[in-house]
Amino acid sequence: MQGRQRIALWCLIGAGLLLASDLAWWATHSQVPPGRLPPAGESLQGKAPFTFAVVGDNRGNNAVFDEILASIRQDGVSLVIHTGDIVKDCTDQNYEWILHELAETDLGVPFCAVPGNHDVGADGPDMYLLYERAFGPRRYWFSYGNTMFVGLASYGETHRQEGLDWLDETLSRYRGGYEDCIVFTHVPPRDPRAGRHHAQSESGGEAMMSLLKKHSVTALFAGHIHSYLEDEMEGIPIYITGGAGAERVAPVVAYHYLLCAVQPDGKLEVRKVDVPDVANTDYLEYAFRVKFPVAASLVGAGVLLLAGIFLARDGVRLGRAGG
């Protein structure tokens, strides 16, 4: 009898904790923050020298990503570039979670992202739906001071012809009005590591670099490879930064982001900034809320509550019978 009552008590306590957790979640997260849309097609007021940050591939590691965002805030940058894989999986819950994370940090500057392969759904008309709702168009351009910025989707290790045609047209129309031109995308044009093929130049990379050379692009930033690598093609420097929290690959380096400075004469300076490998204290909440939506925890609380009531009543009945 006492054993049944103890189990009933723990069931009721568990149900209470789940319900309290749900109430706390709804109180702080009932409203999904608005999307972090880039300044597509805009000319932002500013002048060189200025700094911007480049970050990529956080993929659900909220502790490291929060550390990076906090460091970026202290740097006083004018804008933030994200090279993709901003969520772990393309689901409503993952996108709601990352929008809450960004709202809590409140960078206070434009957040300019492009989609990575984890950010889009299966091939089809709606593959970019969740991404574009949260972070805007998959390809766009804007300017800040003397610099033109161009974001380009490169889903599935492919630089597709429609994207390359858009890139050529956009650069032909606007590139001549700016001292510098920065292009950012998710998949680099090639994997510079010997014997590795995590990015495939035969899938449009070489064609893209020919376009960048044609239009005298200053530099290309990419992610996808969870490390830090520098490369050069067609005389254009390529910076690959995938160190914002995803599982690291060779050559293994510290989690990091890039702090970039544009000088009045058009010179671009790029510096890698390391961040600590901090414990992911948000993981349980992330797993519980993203992998198991609130509805699931309500069901769990209901099951525990009913089990606790049943066991408690059964225990009381048996106690009376035994007396």
Compute the distance between CA of residue 271 and CA of residue 71 in angstroms, rounded to an integer. Answer: 14
- Please name the residues in contact with 247: beta carbons below 8 A apart, sequence gap of 6 or more: 226
- 221 and 116 co-located in one domain: yes
The CATH number given to whatever domain includes residue 79 is 3.60.21.10
Q: Which helix (H) or strand (E) holds 132?
A: helix 129-135
Q: Is residue 48 part of a domain?
A: yes
Q: Is residue 35 part of a domain?
A: no
**Beta strand spans in the chain (E):** 43-44, 50-55, 79-82, 111-113, 140-144, 147-152, 180-185, 219-222, 228-233, 236-241, 256-262, 268-274
- For 36-51, write each residue's pLDDT tens digit: 999 999 999 999 999 9
Q: How many CA atoms lie within 13 Å of 208's alpha carbon, on the beta-carbon side?
A: 34
- 156 and 268 co-located in one domain: yes
pLDDT of residue 124: 79
- Please name the residues in contact with 52: beta carbons below 8 A apart, sequence gap of 6 or more: 77, 78, 79, 80, 81, 144, 260, 262
Compute the distance between CA of residue 33 and CA of residue 289 in angstroms, rounded to an integer. Answer: 16
- For 273-283, write each residue's pLDDT tens digit: 999 987 766 65
At 150 the three-state DSSP class reads strand
pLDDT of residue 1: 47
Number of domains in the chain: 2
Predicted TM-score (pTM) above 0.85: no
- Please name the residues in contact with 181: beta carbons below 8 A apart, sequence gap of 6 or more: 147, 148, 149, 150, 171, 175, 215, 216, 217, 218
- 177 and 78 co-located in one domain: yes
Confidence at 126, pLDDT banded by 50, 70, 90 = confident
- 269 and 304 co-located in one domain: no
Q: Is residue 158 part of a domain?
A: yes
* Residue 6 lies in domain: 2-30+292-322
Compute the distance between CA of residue 185 and CA of residue 314 in angstroms, rounded to an integer. Answer: 63
Q: Is residue 145 part of a domain?
A: yes
Q: Is residue 281 part of a domain?
A: no
Q: For residue 46, what are its two tokens?
A: 């500013």
- 24 and 65 co-located in one domain: no
- 187 and 311 co-located in one domain: no
**Beta strand spans in 199-313 (E):** 219-222, 228-233, 236-241, 256-262, 268-274
- 308 and 221 co-located in one domain: no
For residue 49, is it left (φ>0), alpha (ψ between -120 and 50) or beta? beta
Q: Is residue 166 part of a domain?
A: yes
- For 253-289, write each residue's pLDDT tens digit: 999 999 999 999 889 999 999 999 877 666 556 665 6
- For 159-177, write each residue's pLDDT tens digit: 788 899 999 999 999 999 9
**CB 119 within 8 Å of CB 131:** yes
- 318 and 221 co-located in one domain: no
Whether residue 57 has pLDDT greater than 80: yes
Report the pLDDT averaged over residues 97-108.
90
Q: Is residue 92 part of a domain?
A: yes
Report the pLDDT averaged over residues 306-312.
61
pLDDT of residue 11: 58
Q: For residue 181, what are its two tokens?
A: 């031109």
Residue with tokens 């990419």: 222
Compute the distance between CA of residue 193 and CA of residue 253 in angstroms, rounded to an integer. Answer: 14
Confidence at 199, pLDDT banded by 50, 70, 90 = confident
Q: Is residue 118 part of a domain?
A: yes
- 50 and 11 co-located in one domain: no
- 154 and 235 co-located in one domain: yes
- 102 and 244 co-located in one domain: yes
Whether residue 28 has pLDDT greater than 90: no
* Percent of the chain clearing pLDDT 70 (strictly above): 75
Residues β-bridged to residue 221: 184, 239
Confidence at 198, pLDDT banded by 50, 70, 90 = confident
Taking the CA atoms of residue 38, residue 42, residue 45 and residue 48 in that order, the dihedral angle to the nearest 10 degrees is: 80
- 101 and 242 co-located in one domain: yes
